[in-house]
Each structure stands twice: as structure tokens, then as C-alpha cells.
Amino acid sequence: MMFADLVDLVDLTGQLREFGINLNIDADPGEINQATEEWLLSATTEQVKALLESLEAFQQASQGLILPAAKDVLDTLLDELRSR
């Protein structure tokens, strides 16, 4: 029997918290987006680039194993970071 560890919002929140984004571990999608937007207001170009690279690697490593809510938030965050 094979078990897959699915990526959920808790995993994504943990990733964002590593960059100093102020989030509770059980944050919902709206809270994640809002906290990230607030973080971006004071983030340096280097911090934004590092977060983008980290989330892209996170997405690639998790490909196919991301729950829909986490995938939607991750896609939104990546779009936002790439546009900066």
C-alpha cells in the first residue's frame, strides 16, 4: 500500500512563516493572502525573490500532491510575486 503526503494549507502556511510572514498555523486562504500582501509592503526585492524561488521549488516538489485549497492560494501568491 502506498501513502502520499498531501500538501495542505498548514504546509503552505509553515513555508510562508519561514519568511517572517505573520500567520497562525491554521490560517484560511483569505488570511494567508492578506498577511502576504502586508508582508510585501515592507519586503525588499531580495526577500520577494527569495520567497518566489522558495514557493516555486515548493510547488515543483509537491506537484500533483497539493490539495485544491492550497493549490489555489499558492497559484495566487506565485502570480502576485511574479508580477513584482
Task: Quote the pTM value.
Answer: 0.90
pLDDT in tens, 39-83: 999 999 999 999 999 999 999 998 779 999 999 999 999 999 999
How far from chain centre, in Å, is Cα 26?
A: 13
Give the Å distances, CA to CA, from 24 to 4, 46, 60, 80.
25, 24, 24, 21
